[in-house]
Structure 1
């Protein structure tokens, strides 16, 4: 297979990877994963995320404040993000969004920070990585309201929402990213929603170290396991694994325009 998968969302700076980082990257390569994006969740830890991206040409990163952190680090303006986004290793803004399941931060703070991230996307042209949990209506209301002020691009990461949210997101040009959740027995409604998402709007991810797919449930997730998610997505969309690999990788580079396709590690190539 002369194509490679992209793990479009993982957290390589998390402590689960510190003891065997080289092994994690090697296993990803052996599984046909040619690029990874390590996601920022706090500005106070961003330098660690950036250092991970510096380790290899085929690792990129994003910068942002997770909704869980919006109480302590939530943004009132896009300026703290804009101060860093000229960095060529930063290919997206986020993850940001709304999480009403845990409510780890006041909802108003989450919403204000979310809008600041969107403003940074609008100004830079970088895509937005959206986290939404138990907040579908507010998430889409904010995205649609902000889109009316000026267009921006992005992705609903780790899609676990309704078909209605997916369709609203597609209408403003967003992409839908599939995680290991789509392999779970309990995810029938999510799989059904994906049947109506066009192939040219789909990405795959791990959200590692979380949400390991079947057959790796119960283990810490890692980028190599995105191959299992891709295989399930191919089944859902009734295409071959090679086709879903090609399509989701093409989609990734269409959305994340700052990522250099020349750095996609194909099978048999050595990591730089």
Structure 2
């Protein structure tokens, strides 16, 4: 029997309908018991909620992805209204964060409006006692840590995290979680993060449909890839694979309160 896994971060609404149906139909076969489906914007949030209404394995999160133009005030208001309306069904506020890659391409980009938007979502998360799913890598993670402390948001998940040892150590002190994608198989930077970060603060994800390289090149990204991710984590940390499976699974259930 295949070990149970949870995909802690996936953009289900971005898959072609045929591909998504194929993937959802084989969740049990692949050992997948839950998918934390994040949203990118208002339309995405509505799609994720609709999918979750028909598939109990899908655990929805609502947010606004920072690697895009800022939303209008009206869209922000509508996203936050949707969060309040569906807060009992939501497992998190996300994906939210800061525009690291966008700013690399456009150094003139003003960060302050993105920081303001992130703070607005953090206030909502604190008020509703919801965890947050963060897109905040390298130096942006330091800003995010400060804002988490400011707004007293304790449960934070830095998805597909990348960063240096001092940043990692600050996040560990904060008790924040990270999640690891299939690129841990072939990316030395991600392997170093895994080596340093405690297993007890770790989850696994695909960030699908984002494509991967190495052994996954030209393949549709799907939760089944997580089994190879876990095998690599066990190898890096020199921990028995069964224990790694169990720890990552329980971490995710606990963090997202999937037992409630």
Establish whether TM, by shorter chain, passes 0.5: yes
Using CA pairs under 8 Å that are at least 6 residues apart, name the structure with larger relative contact order, 1 or 2: 1
After superposition, residues 32-51 of structure 1 pair within 5 angstroms as 32-51=31-50
Q: Deviations over 1:81-127 (max 9, x none)?
A: 26524443310111111122223874222211111121122111111
Detail structure 1 runs of 4+ shifted over 6 Å in the superposition: 74-79
Q: CA deviation at 1:76?
A: 10
Matched with 1:91 is 91
After superposition, residues 135-174 of structure 1 pair within 5 angstroms as 136-174=138-176
- Does the CA-based 8 Å contact 2:131-2:154 persist in structure 1? yes
Using the alignment, how far apart are the partners of 2:228 and 2:193 within structure 1?
A: 19
- Does the CA-based 8 Å contact 1:121-1:128 persist in structure 2? yes
Structure 1, unmatched stretches of 5+, are 262-272
Q: CA deviation at 1:75?
A: 9.0
Using the alignment, how far apart are the partners of 2:74 and 2:139 within structure 1?
A: 21
Using the alignment, how far apart are the partners of 1:75 and 1:240 within structure 2?
A: 50
Using the alignment, how far apart are the partners of 2:224 and 2:32 within structure 1?
A: 6
Matched with 2:55 is 56
Using the alignment, how far apart are the partners of 1:74 and 1:219 within structure 2?
A: 38
Matched with 1:28 is 27
Q: CA deviation at 1:70?
A: 4.9
Aligned residues: CA RMSD:
2.5
What TM-score comes out, normalization by structure 2 length? 0.87
- Does the CA-based 8 Å contact 2:2-2:30 persist in structure 1? no
Higher helix residue share: 2
Matched with 2:121 is 117
CA 1:193 to 1:46, structure 2 compared with 1: closer, same or farther past 3 Å? closer
Matched with 1:127 is 131
- Does the CA-based 8 Å contact 1:206-1:223 persist in structure 2? yes
Instruction: Say which SS state the counterpart of residue 26 (structure 2) adopts.
Output: helix
Using the alignment, how far apart are the partners of 2:156 and 2:33 within structure 1?
A: 21
Using the alignment, how far apart are the partners of 1:239 and 1:250 within structure 2?
A: 16
Matched with 1:208 is 208
- Does the CA-based 8 Å contact 2:35-2:59 persist in structure 1? yes
What TM-score comes out, normalization by structure 1 length? 0.83
Matched with 2:16 is 17
Which 10-residue stretch deviates more, 160-169 or 199-208?
160-169
Which 10-residue stretch deviates more, 213-222 or 237-246?
213-222
